[in-house]
Amino acid sequence: MNKLYPDAAAALGGVLRDGMLIASGGFGLSGLPERLLDAVRDSGVKGLTFFSNNAGIDNEGIGKLLRTRQVKKMVSSYVGENKEFERQYLAGELEVEFCPQGTLAERMRAGGAGIPAFYTKTGVGTLVAEGKEIRSFDGPNGPEDYVMERGIFADLALVKAWKADETGNVVFRKTARNFNVPAATCGKVCVVEVEELVPAGSLDPDAIHLPGVYVQRMIVGAPYDKKIEFRTVRQREAA
10-residue mean pLDDT series, the chain (239 residues): 94 97 90 95 97 87 94 91 89 95 97 97 95 93 95 98 96 92 97 96 95 97 78 79
Rounded to whole angstroms, the Cα distance separating 140 from 125 reads 19
Residue 205: is the preceding peptide bond cis (ω within 30°)?
no
| pLDDT number for residue 230 | 66
Rounded to whole angstroms, the Cα distance separating 192 from 157 reads 8
Contact yes or no for 171/195 (Cβ under 8 A): no
| pLDDT number for residue 227 | 72
Render the burial of 79-100: b for 16+ CB within 10 Å, e for the rest: bebbebbeebbeeeebeeeebb
| pTM to 2 decimal places | 0.90
Helix (H, G, I), strand (E, B) or coil at 177: helix
| pLDDT number for residue 159 | 97
CA distances from 126 to 77, 98, 100, 234 (A): 15, 12, 11, 40
Helix (H, G, I), strand (E, B) or coil at 48: strand
Burial degree of 23 (CB within 10 A; 0-12, 13-18, 19+): buried
